[in-house]
Structure 1
Amino acid sequence: MLLVLITFTFIIPLAAQTHVKVYKLSAYGIRPNTGKNITPLLGKVLEEIKSKTTDQEAVVIQFQKGKYDFHAAGALKREYYISNHDQVNPKTVGIEIDKFKNITLDGNGAELMFYGRMLPLALIESSNVKIKNLSIDFEKPQITQIKVVENDPVAGTIIFETAPWVTYKIKDSTFYNLGEDWEMNPTSGIAFENGTKHIIYDSGDIRVGTKGVSELSPGRLKAHHWKNKKLIPGTVIAMRSWNRPNPGIFVHKGKDIRFENVKVHYAEGMGLLAQLTENIYMDGFGVCLRGKNDPRYFTTQADATHFSGCKGTIVSKNGLYEGMMDDAINIHGTYLKMIKRLDDRTVVGRYMEGQSYGFDWGNLKDTVQFIQSKTMDLWDTKNTIAAITPIKSNPGDPIKEFKIEFTNVLDKEIDPSKTDVGIENLSWTPTVVFTGNTIRNNRARGALFSTPKPTLVADNLFDHTSGSAIVLCGDSNGWYETGSCRDVTIRNNTFINALTSMYQFTNAVISIYPEIPDLKNQKKYFHSGIKIENNKFDTFDQPILYAKSVDGIVFKNNNITTNTAYPAFHSNKKRVLFERVIAADLSNNKVNGKVTDLLAK
């Protein structure tokens, strides 16, 4: 009950403000369906509104229903360092909500269409913000959709057709997708079943034949060096690169942020990336297609939603996440690697992952803990930050290192000269409520959670996630994404044919997979307090639950039904596989209607 109260009361309703001002954008000449670039005019209008508004006033900004076009000409240029994205700057920003308080942006069904390579919506250091009733899309996505027409696996040739919206060129026999101010050579792809939009069974990331290409007729091309017998005629392929310069929505250092009935149909990075933000509420948020008749098969280039170094409560309810090239949701913090111990209280910590740096990591009085990276053992004693200072060679350099002084003397063993040490900020870890969502037809995994705070995953549908449906991870060696889970409830979810392809951390439908290089010498346990109850698994293969380094896991009252939709292929042949797990309760689970001992060989 306490968790439910938290999720619905952390944001102040606008009606509670002393005065509400309503601004209709049509009064400023911003009207739908004109085909005109509204980027510069909307920017000026937002600045004017902010200049007229006090912190005690609430503002409602209203679009009319219809299509609005945003081009890079006249757009703001901003230097943003965005977690888990390419750190390329400056960013071209379509709409910036910067240092606003008590603002509602009401789309009334507006379709915001972007062109070129842009960051559509940035919420920067703003609080009590509500975004509702609008969608974000791009006229020409960087992902190239094609359909296989003919496949000769003996000759190693494939004839394919580009989707009608794709503009391309062939230079030196190499295929390039083109858009406003960009061009891109796809190097990888995801293959979809025609009609169902499920990702092709046992395919994963495929090589695409974009070198050695000739044009047979406009929109019809032959790849002379592309051999893959799984790509039967009719197969639809989303050809892509690994670039992720911009999310669709970026939230930085915000507080009390709401999204209601907001849809992101495409972004060249993640759909929504929030960092260093307190309290985020999403109801009816979608990273999704434009309905069942949408000719596209894909949405975003990476995760649908991603939360890095956030705190308070994160809520996602009644959402639709489909066709994205990575997870529906990923929640974590970032480990700094301890580089030097300067004295008994002072260290140097460094961001290690190439897409996560340039932003603040901690504040005065934040609580931290330390981890031995090789075994992922946590030191018992926590500490607090007494001072933290970025270390830069030049003032304009992005932040990669910090000098951190702690309140208390450090344990003598917390020393990078003795062992690899990760530093985790516990103050910036959130409570999570993920309920009533649908996740389907996406690449990689369904949902990833890494927070010690209470996490509820309930009443969701995981339908053909091509990797694991749920992953609890933690890694202080590669991705440097914190941390250990202490209170996770996974209940009343339905899982339909998850794990049709192999990706990282995908050992079962639910995979509890911290990255531990030296598990043999681990002394403690990384995760604990995990309850998986009353779920339905409809599956063609064996592995349902994998867990590593867990003290306390309950898996009971779950129903497993087997089907023959695909051949079983996974290397893990066990329903439940544990590595270094204690205090497990596996009771009253049914397979095809019969109570079964899931640990039996």
Structure 2
Amino acid sequence: MSIKTVCTLDYGIEPDTGEDCAAALQALFDGLAYESGTEFCVQFKKGNYHIHLPIRIRGAKNLTVRGNRATILAHFDPTAPIWANNNVFELSDCEDTSFHDFFFDTDHPVSAAGRVTSIDRENGTVDLKIYEEFPVTGFEHFCATNSFDEKGTPDYALATYNMDLVRLPFTAPDGRRTTRLVGLPYEVVGEHLVRLQLGALSPALKIGHEINLRYEVSGNTVFQFVSCRRVLLKNIIIYSAASFGATIHPRSEDFTFDNFCIRVPDTSERLMAANADGIHALGLAGKLVLRNCHMENMGDDTLNLHSIAACIRKLDSEKRTLAMFCPRPYGPHSLPEKWAIPGDAIYVYDSETFLRKGSFVIDTIDEENNAVFREETGAFAAGDILANAQYFASLHIDGCTIRSTRARGFLVQTHNVLIENCYFYGMSLSALLFAPDIRVWWEAGPCRTVEIRNNIIEYCAHIDSIASQGAIIFNACHDANSLEYPAGVHEKLFIHDNLFIDLPRSGIFVVSASDVRIEGNRFQNCCYHPQENAEYAKYDIVAANCENIVIRNNKSDRGEETLQYLLNCKE
């Protein structure tokens, strides 16, 4: 295969002009003849490139994009409707594509940060001195707030969500009568000083608390992939993402993130680098590899790997027809485009136990997810839960550092997982959560064949929440207790040779699993702030409703008496 190198300079795309070059970049990628059998290498010159529209790459094959340490600055307006902001690269139906050696930032901050200077609990207001690097015009809209503790991690002393923006009359600081978009109500009361109108305040919120104010939560991503295969992102640093670092949609396959980093610049007082997830995959086949990645200060999970769960609405066993939908309590009940196609195998789970009870293969399916099926096993009925077997990508994570994230480090819902040699610090919730969810999020599915080894997990699961029962959690739902689910939801788990340090809660919390081995782990200063009214909360290892479980050779600096707690478990 021949290789053709294309330079951005040859298309008149100069760095450091301060002008929007999105149209010129779009013309460059549109002009590549991907069907010719040529391998293309697009080379950027080092410097800053401003883009105000997403760059759409469709149908690329054998494409390498090299940044040579160029910085892409996406446009972001903290006063505008969220839809006015843009993704950076949107790829669809691409194969054998890679991006190397880029920095990504935004031309304006995607959030602000400051410190609490006064609290009026009677009137429910908080005064916040905004750091100088962030604009304070009075027109910025705040979609979410989060407080940070002295260790630099979200502590939920303040956590609000006001994502439905409303345009209201407004008197600008210069006296002009106008309008602005409002999420959380506030007013400018001094030089870089705002007064947040919050209502009831937690007693945990103190003067001196650092606060992050997100201008957006969910909406924009740096990389978006739809139906892409064999993708590599290497030596990428994202300093600012309005929502996600990367999103992966059906029907994508085989992704590798190598030295993919999302972090706050050393010279900045930003408290968040991305306002939502670092990597969000909701329809990935094949494999996902994360190697030597450093991700910190996410507004949500660093990684969320899952697919959308469905439900059988109607079933005619004789005609082998069924209707499928997603009855989640938020958003549309439709399933994503191409959630299933002919030939896909579908797993069927009992809606009460989440145990797998059968499977079938899609023969035909229409746009409204009415399907004809074949090759069924087991017995199933209306109301049963469905997961597409295509989207259980294997996962290998090695040598990654994950720090100071508002939710979980990794939220994993797949089979064949190996997580090793990683360091986790300052997750507000668990470092690792393995759990499907059909109570709120309607994500699938249960995990099978998981190994977690040689990791260090420090100061995680530190907020008072049922969702932070341990640093490593296997559960049957995301954010609630699931002790009613039986053994067998998760299968073949091996958690060994990990070090747990300075954890307010348990180190390992496993519910509803079979074939579990927990061996050779060490616990130092754990369970120093256990959940109230929970008998098991003072133990380093908690297991409930498990079968074929082996726990041995683990050590705790608190002694054997608080090392492990077993409830309804069978060896």
**TM-score scaled to structure 1, two decimals?**
0.82
User: Matched residues in 2 for 1:592 and 1:102: separation?
Assistant: 53
Equivalenced residues, count? 529
Does 1:317 find its partner at 2:317? no
User: Matched residues in 2 for 1:414 and 1:563: separation?
Assistant: 44
CA gap of 1:24–1:158, structure 2 versus 1, over 3 A, is same
- 2:46 is aligned to 65
- 2:490 is aligned to 527
User: Matched residues in 1 for 2:184 and 2:438: separation?
Assistant: 38
User: Matched residues in 2 for 1:445 and 1:586: separation?
Assistant: 25
State the AA in 1 paired with 2:22: T
State the AA in 2 paired with 1:448: L
State the AA in 1 paired with 2:9: S
Does 1:483 find its partner at 2:445? yes
State the AA in 2 paired with 1:446: G
Does 1:365 find its partner at 2:343? yes
Q: In the alignment, is the contact (CA less than 8 A) between 1:463 and 1:495 conserved in 2? A: yes
- Correspondence list, 1:414-493, <5 A: 414-416=380-382, 420-452=383-415, 454-493=416-455
State the AA in 2 paired with 1:58: E
Q: In the alignment, is the contact (CA less than 8 A) between 1:140 and 1:165 conserved in 2? A: no
Q: In the alignment, is the contact (CA less than 8 A) between 1:55 and 1:102 conserved in 2? A: no
Q: In the alignment, is the contact (CA less than 8 A) between 1:203 and 1:501 conserved in 2? A: no
Q: CA deviation at 1:584?
A: 1.2
CA gap of 1:302–1:357, structure 2 versus 1, over 3 A, is farther
Does 1:110 find its partner at 2:70? yes
State the AA in 2 paired with 1:464: G
Q: In the alignment, is the contact (CA less than 8 A) between 1:589 and 1:596 conserved in 2? A: no
CA gap of 1:589–1:221, structure 2 versus 1, over 3 A, is same
Deviations 1:446-486 (A, max 9, x none): 1111112x100000001111111111101234322111211
Farther off after superposition, 534-543 or 433-442: 534-543
User: Matched residues in 1 for 2:509 and 2:391: separation?
Assistant: 28
- 2:458 is aligned to 496
User: Matched residues in 2 for 1:326 and 1:250: separation?
Assistant: 17
- 1:383 is aligned to 360
Root-mean-square deviation over aligned CA pairs: 2.8
Q: CA deviation at 1:443?
A: 0.5
Which one of the candidate residues 549, 554, 565 is aligned to 2:512? 549
- Correspondence list, 1:85-96, <5 A: 94-96=54-56
- 2:59 is aligned to 99
User: Matched residues in 1 for 2:385 and 2:397: separation?
Assistant: 28
Deviations 1:379-424 (A, max 9, x none): 1x32211112112xxxxxxxxxx0111113575x5221xxx21111
State the AA in 2 paired with 1:29: G
CA gap of 1:579–1:121, structure 2 versus 1, over 3 A, is same
State the AA in 1 paired with 2:97: V
Q: CA deviation at 1:428?
A: 2.6
User: Matched residues in 2 for 1:462 and 1:210: separation?
Assistant: 32
Q: In the alignment, is the contact (CA less than 8 A) between 1:461 and 1:493 conserved in 2? A: yes
User: Matched residues in 2 for 1:600 and 1:45: separation?
Assistant: 61
Percent identical across equivalent pairs?
Answer: 20
> Secondary structure, in 3 states, of the residue corresponding to 2:298?
coil
CA gap of 1:246–1:19, structure 2 versus 1, over 3 A, is same
Does 1:198 find its partner at 2:157? no
Q: CA deviation at 1:161?
A: 1.9
> Secondary structure, in 3 states, of the residue corresponding to 1:427?
helix
> Secondary structure, in 3 states, of the residue corresponding to 2:147?
strand
CA gap of 1:514–1:215, structure 2 versus 1, over 3 A, is same
User: Matched residues in 1 for 2:288 and 2:400: separation?
Assistant: 14
- 1:145 is aligned to 113
Farther off after superposition, 425-434 or 159-168: 159-168
Q: What are the ranges of 5 or more consecutive residues in structure 1 without an aligned counterpart?
A: 1-17, 76-93, 171-175, 178-183, 392-401
- Correspondence list, 1:53-452, <5 A: 53-71=34-52, 75=53, 94-116=54-76, 117-151=85-119, 153=121, 156-170=124-138, 176-177=139-140, 184-186=141-143, 188-193=144-149, 196-200=151-155, 203=157, 205-206=159-160, 213-223=186-196, 227-240=201-214, 243-275=217-249, 276-290=251-265, 292-344=266-318, 345-353=320-328, 354=331, 357-379=335-357, 381-391=358-368, 402-408=369-375, 413-416=379-382, 420-452=383-415
Deviations 1:243-292 (A, max 9, x none): 411222111101100000112222232211112211001110012112x3
Q: CA deviation at 1:189?
A: 1.5
Q: What are the ranges of 5 or more consecutive residues in structure 2 without an aligned counterpart?
A: 77-84, 163-181, 567-571
State the AA in 2 paired with 1:444: A
Q: CA deviation at 1:190?
A: 1.3
> Secondary structure, in 3 states, of the residue corresponding to 2:438?
coil
- 1:81 is aligned to none
State the AA in 1 paired with 2:24: L
Q: In the alignment, is the contact (CA less than 8 A) between 2:282 and 2:308 conserved in 1? A: yes
User: Matched residues in 2 for 1:203 and 1:282: separation?
Assistant: 34
User: Matched residues in 2 for 1:446 and 1:147: separation?
Assistant: 26
CA gap of 1:554–1:27, structure 2 versus 1, over 3 A, is same
> Secondary structure, in 3 states, of the residue corresponding to 1:544?
strand
From the two aligned structures, give the one with the greater strand fraction.
Answer: 2
CA gap of 1:207–1:120, structure 2 versus 1, over 3 A, is closer
> Secondary structure, in 3 states, of the residue corresponding to 1:382?
strand
- 1:587 is aligned to 552
State the AA in 2 paired with 1:97: I
State the AA in 1 paired with 2:106: F
CA gap of 1:437–1:519, structure 2 versus 1, over 3 A, is closer
User: Matched residues in 2 for 1:96 and 1:544: separation?
Assistant: 44
- Correspondence list, 1:26-37, <5 A: 26-37=9-20
Q: CA deviation at 1:327?
A: 1.0
State the AA in 2 paired with 1:386: D
Q: In the alignment, is the contact (CA less than 8 A) between 1:559 and 1:593 conserved in 2? A: no
Q: In the alignment, is the contact (CA less than 8 A) between 1:112 and 1:134 conserved in 2? A: yes
Q: CA deviation at 1:61?
A: 0.4
> Secondary structure, in 3 states, of the residue corresponding to 2:26?
helix
CA gap of 1:55–1:485, structure 2 versus 1, over 3 A, is farther
